[in-house]
Amino acid sequence: MRIGVIGAAGKIGQMRVQNIIDNPDTVLAAVMDMEMHRAVAVAQDAPAFSDLERFFDTPMDAVVISTPAHVREPLCLRAFERGLHVLTEKPLSPTVAGARRIVDAAAKAGKALGTGFNMRYYPAFAHMKDVVTSGQIGQIDHVRVYGGHDGLGHFAHEWEYQAEFSGGGALWDVGIHMTDMARHILGEITSVYGVATNTVWNVPGSEDNAVAIFKNPEGIPAIYQASWNDWKGYKSAVEVYGSLGMVRASYAPMQNLVITMDKPGGAAKKTRKFYPEIMLREKLKSWKTTAIQSFGEELADFVRLTHGEAGLRCADGHAGLRAIEIAAAVAESTRTGQPVELENIGDMSIK
Ligand SMILES: NC(=O)c1ccc[n+]([C@@H]2O[C@H](COP(=O)([O-])OP(=O)(O)OC[C@H]3O[C@@H](n4cnc5c(N)ncnc54)[C@H](O)[C@@H]3O)[C@@H](O)[C@H]2O)c1
């Protein structure tokens, strides 16, 4: 599969370029970035462009869009008009309307849309999902998800935290992966009740914290928090509680805890899983080594998605859209004090 990368010179874009070169099933067709000299530096043997139409004139089957969210929509729409499959970073768009237009364009073109929720591939979170799917912890009773970091000092650019570019605050940033994680476990989220706060950083429209309850169509809840004043540092955690046990995944460091029992309250078998090779690798190199590995696995699944395969670990366009709708629903619920009901959109198929 011939794949081009837009935003190729960026922090994440460069990793995407490397993944495409490293994957035996993909070929780097071309790269594009507004900053031509930086695009040339990452292109290796592929052609580099700063002009979008000239980039799209290069023969390719799919494009990875690794730009900031606020410039993403026209790039996605043009890619679908050009008949390409699209894998884009999260968040899909800073607005619900924009995210819907991207999903609609993919459906109209009959092309695959993938959303870069790469934490699904972080080994502890992948293991957690597999444990739940295997039935080891019985029937899911509830889920707890948390994503947080220490706020504005974490960001390199204003577009990462100012609502006009980012869509909002903690929910749209570190929290969006955990929103997706709740949906990944629960299957769908159709009810959102929440409160967003804005007392710490005072960035207009960008919440510091979001505390919420999500429910799936069967009424199974997830307790959710995204935070920009976790003074302890970057942390993501998911716990799934079932009738016969629980499973926890957390990062960083990467860890699992699995508790299983043969009947509620029966003798508990506890298994802890550590990932020393990841901890060592991150200490010696960087967190980027874990991210790039996840992007590589995500790319392989995205290629399968373009072939119409279902049941993959990767997030499709509906996952990207629903995460945005949930973020907007928490803001609405904060204003009205009422839960917001959403339709069940399910998975996105290629027609
Ligand atoms: N999944 C993750 O773990 C993860 C982590 C960090 C960032 N992200 C997401 O990845 C995206 C990029 O983030 P980043 O940290 O790499 O940012 P970055 O600023 O390092 O890179 C963005 C690149 O896009 C280019 N660009 C901007 N507008 C463009 C346009 N209109 N056309 C072409 N190129 C354009 C910039 O020149 C830059 O090279 C964001 O959406 C961010 O939220 C995902």
Q: Residues with Cβ < 8 Å from 332, sequence gap 6 or more?
A: 340
> What pLDDT score was predicted for residue 351?
67
- Sort strands 315-316 and 113-116 into parallel, antiparallel or unpaired: antiparallel
pLDDT at 152: 97
Site to substitute for ligand 1 among 40, 66, 72, 179, most atoms within 8 A of C-beta: 66
Q: What is the mean pLDDT of the chain?
A: 97
What crossing angle do the helices spanning 317-336 and 96-109 adopt, rounded to 10°?
160
CB of residue 76 inside a 6 A radius of ligand 1? no
- 13 CB under 6 A from ligand 1? yes
Write down the pLDDT at residue 178. 98
Angle at CA 112, nearest 5°, toward 10 and 322? 80
What is the residue with the minimal CA distance to atom 15 of ligand 1? 11
For 197-229, how does the pLDDT look when each residue is reduced to its tens digit (9 = 90+)?
Answer: 999 999 999 999 999 999 999 999 999 999 999
Spacing, Cα 210 to ligand 1 middle (Å)? 24
Number of Cβ within a 10 Å radius of residue 223: 15
- Read off the tokens for 243: 């009738």
Residue pLDDT, tens place only, 68-83: 999 999 999 999 999 9
Residue 350 has pLDDT above 80, yes or no: no
- Whether the full predicted model's pTM is greater than 0.95, yes or no, is yes
The residues spanned by each domain of the chain are: 120-276+317-326+335-341
Q: Which CATH superfamily is domain 120-276+317-326+335-341 in?
A: Dihydrodipicolinate Reductase; domain 2 (3.30.360.10)
- 7 CB near ligand 1 (under 6 Å): yes
Spatial distance between the Cα atoms of 19 and 274, rounded to a whole number of angstroms:
26
Q: Which of 55, 67, 288 to mutate to test the pocket of ligand 1 (most atoms within 8 A of CB)?
A: 67
Instruction: Check pocket membership of 5 for ligand 1, CB cut-off 6 A.
Output: no
Is the beta carbon of 11 within 6 A of some atom in ligand 1? yes
